[in-house]
């Protein structure tokens, strides 16, 4: 008996049934004649792998829409960091993350990579909600509410890794914030700890030209050249943004097998630039997709993100053949899971059942449909996502959250909104 049987799934033009048991796709073939605890009829619907959001600051969902029309550093220094200094707490992180996770589940995301503070709260939310996440404390050289020195940040990070490494839902990650907020000694300490604990490293790299110029001025090297000299780059390194990489850095990224987490919407909104990721892909760099925090994006929609990414590359290179549909969808799904060596992001026997079911038929905006992948990439709204399944567990189905009390979420968010709104006046 299967736990879930998805009937009449259209996968690349072939109608098959998907049998799921113990979180795994056990059978994928036409007309499966076997009982199941739950059956989903996908006739005339779209079935695809779920999304993998490879760069977030989930709790910042509570700061959505604050600080418009500012440069990245003005946005951080004049708006975000002062608000975080006043409001960030365990409760803030718990409530903000729960809101973000609900939005991601509704939008078909079943894995996200997070960097923030009080990450134990993020981990607890993830475990309760039933999705997966790579999670790590931001590590910096200056004091915040969670630590005063690099040594203290690293101690907290070490404790977090050791506490949550046995979790089925959490992959603990070390998160030095950036080259401009972490000294060389701090980065060496991060590298040493990551090797000792066998963890991934996730940090911001080359997000703005100003950042790159600052690194060159201080170290006489471009950011990835500098990080490569330290020895921190490997297939367990995920660099967020990577907007401004030169040819030598692209070669380093390819050789070291790092992953670039591309965040086009945030980069556009903050005026950081357009990353030429089609060039990265053609040079063998693994690219995955992220939304960044909702404060700098204003949504967590991977459908919107992949659409913006694809059209930007065609426009940037003035080449309509750049970023083909299949590669774009892999960047939004398979590549992120692959970066963490997770067998998901592909509809295939033996892979984790991280799956979404899309019903495009209830909205006239979606018809006519001649090419389902084109619909997904260029025009589909995430309101059409009907079902989100994470490792064989239904988390969202036909408007109902199965693991999150959404009315409680709305109540808590309204309370935070009033507090933050008063602080802004």
What's the average model confidence in pLDDT over 309-313? 98
What pLDDT does residue 145 have? Answer: 86
pLDDT value, residue 13: 82
Determine the average pLDDT of the residues in 43-58.
97
d(CA 217, CA 235) in angstroms, rounded, equals: 28
At 425, the pLDDT band (50, 70, 90 cuts) reads confident
The pLDDT-based confidence of 112 (bands split at 50, 70, 90) is: very high
pLDDT of residue 255: 98
Q: Taking the CA atoms of the chain, what radius of gyration do you get in angstroms?
A: 21
Neighbours of 199 (CB within 10 A): 22
Instruction: Decide: 206 and 165 in contact? Cβ < 8 Å.
Output: no
Q: Sheet containing 24-29: give its strands across.
A: 24-29, 14-21, 2-11, 36-41
At 104 the pLDDT is 98
Query: In terms of domains, do 240 and 362 share one?
Result: no
Domain match, 93 and 41 both = no
Contact 289, 53 (CB under 8 A): yes
HSE-up of residue 34 (Cα within 13 Å, Cβ side)? 17
Distance CA 62, CA 81 (A): 14
Write the CB contacts of 292 (distance below 8 Å, at least 6 apart in sequence).
55, 56, 57, 240, 263, 265, 266
Cα dihedral sign, 396-402-403-404? positive
Q: CA-CA distance, 42 to 40, in Å (whole number)?
A: 6
Q: Do 79 and 275 meet the contact criterion of CB atoms below 8 Å apart?
A: no
Query: Once rounded to an integer, what is the mean pLDDT over residues 42-71?
Result: 95
Tokens of residue 335, six digits: 């590549």
Name the nearest CA neighbour of 345 among 297, 270, 288: 288
**310-338 residues labelled b (16+ CB within 10 A) or e (exposed):** bbbbeebeeeeebbeeebbbbbbbbbbbb
pLDDT at residue 5 tops 90: yes
Residue 393 is part of a domain; what is its CATH number?
Answer: 2.30.40.10
Is residue 412, in this structure, part of any structural domain at all? Answer: no
Mean pLDDT for the stretch of residues 231-258? 98
Out of 81-85, 209-213, 401-405, least confident range: 81-85
Backbone angles phi, psi at 401, to 5 degrees: -80, 125
CA–CA separation, 305 and 103 (whole Å): 14
DSSP state of 50: P
How many domains are there within the chain? 2
Is 30 in the same domain as 66?
A: no
What's the burial of 22, exposed, middle or buried (CB within 10 Å: 0-12/13-18/19+)? exposed
In a domain, 145, yes or no: yes
- What's this model's pTM, rounded to 2 decimal places? 0.97
Which secondary-structure segment (H or E) carries 192? Answer: helix 184-197
- Would you say 262 and 235 are in contact if contact means Cβ atoms under 8 Å apart? no
Residues 133, 33 share a domain: no
Gap between the Cα atoms of 381 and 242, Å rounded? 27
> Does 408 map to a domain?
no
pLDDT at 70 over 90: no
> Would you state the structure tokens that stand for residue 254, as one six-digit string?
């390819």
Indicate if the pLDDT at residue 400 is higher than 90. Answer: yes
Q: Per DSSP, what are the bridge partners of residue 137?
A: 116
Q: Which domain holds residue 379?
A: 2-49+351-401
Whether the CA torsion 69, 74, 78, 80 is positive or negative: it is positive
Do 43 and 64 fall into the same domain? no
The single-letter DSSP state of residue 141 is S
Q: What is the pLDDT of residue 362?
A: 85
| Whole-angstrom distance, CA of residue 274 vs CA of residue 312 | 8
One domain, residues 250 and 362: no
How crowded is the C-beta side of 90, counted as CA atoms within 13 Å? 4
Mean pLDDT score, 347-355: 98
| Range from 65-69, 110-114, 167-171 carrying the lowest mean pLDDT | 65-69
What residues contact 195, with CB distance under 8 A and at least 6 apart? none
pLDDT in tens, 254-287: 999 999 999 999 999 999 999 999 999 999 999 9
19 with 96, same domain: the answer is no
Q: Do 380 and 254 fall into the same domain?
A: no
Tokens representing 148 are 């005063």
In a domain, 416, yes or no: no
Write out the two tokens for 291: 């939304």
Over residues 121-163, the pLDDT tens digits come to 999 999 999 999 999 999 999 998 899 999 999 999 999 999 9
CB-based contact 119:157 (threshold 8 Å): no
- Those residues with Cβ within 8 angstroms of residue 282's Cβ, 6 or more apart along the chain or in another chain: none
Residues 214 and 235 in one domain: yes
pLDDT at 71 over 90: no
Is residue 84 one of the residues assigned to a domain? Answer: yes
CATH at 261: 3.20.20.140
Helix (H), strand (E) at residue 115: strand 109-116
Tell me the average pLDDT across 367-377: 94
């Amino acid at each position: 008996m299967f736990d879930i049987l998805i009937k009449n799934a259209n996968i690349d033009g072939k109608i098959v049934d998907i049998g799921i048991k113990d979180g795994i796709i056990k059978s994928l073939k036409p007309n499966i004649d076997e009982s199941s605890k739950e059956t989903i009829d996908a006739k005339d619907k779209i079935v695809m792998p779920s999304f993998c959001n490879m760069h977030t600051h989930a709790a910042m969902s509570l700061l959505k829409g604050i600080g418009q029309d500012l440069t990245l550093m003005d946005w951080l220094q004049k708006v975000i960091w002062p608000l975080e200094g006043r409001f960030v707490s365990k409760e803030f992180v718990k409530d903000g993350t729960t809101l973000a996770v609900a939005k991601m589940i509704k939008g078909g995301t079943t894995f996200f990579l997070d960097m923030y503070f009080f990450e134990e709260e993020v981990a607890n939310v993830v475990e309760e909600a039933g999705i997966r996440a790579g999670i790590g404390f931001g590590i910096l050289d200056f004091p915040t509410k969670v630590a005063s020195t690099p040594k203290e940040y690293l101690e907290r990070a070490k404790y977090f890794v050791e506490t949550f490494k046995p979790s089925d839902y959490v992959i603990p990650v070390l998160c030095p914030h950036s080259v401009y907020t972490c000294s060389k000694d701090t980065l060496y300490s991060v590298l040493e700890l990551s090797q000792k604990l066998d963890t991934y490293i996730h940090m911001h790299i080359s997000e703005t030209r100003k950042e790159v110029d600052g690194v060159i001025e201080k170290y006489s090297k471009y950011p990835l050249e500098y990080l490569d000299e330290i020895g921190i780059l490997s297939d367990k390194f995920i660099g967020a943004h990577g907007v401004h990489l030169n040819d030598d850095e692209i070669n380093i990224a390819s050789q070291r097998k790092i992953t670039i987490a591309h965040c086009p919407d945030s980069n556009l909104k903050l005026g950081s630039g357009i990353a030429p990721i089609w060039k990265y892909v053609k040079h063998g760099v693994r690219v995955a997709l992220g939304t960044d925090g909702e404060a700098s994006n204003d949504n967590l929609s991977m459908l919107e993100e992949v659409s913006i990414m694809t059209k930007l590359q065609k426009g940037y290179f003035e080449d309509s053949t750049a970023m083909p549909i299949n590669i774009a969808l892999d960047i939004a799904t398979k590549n992120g899971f692959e970066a963490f060596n997770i067998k998901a992001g592909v509809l295939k026997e033996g892979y984790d059942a991280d799956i979404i079911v899309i019903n495009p038929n209830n909205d006239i905006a979606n018809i006519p449909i001649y090419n389902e992948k084109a619909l997904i990439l260029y025009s589909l709204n995430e309101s059409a996502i009907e079902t989100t399944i994470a490792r064989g567990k239904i988390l969202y189905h036909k408007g109902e959250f199965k693991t999150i009390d959404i009315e409680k979420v709305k109540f808590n968010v309204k309370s935070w909104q009033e507090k933050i709104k008063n602080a802004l006046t």
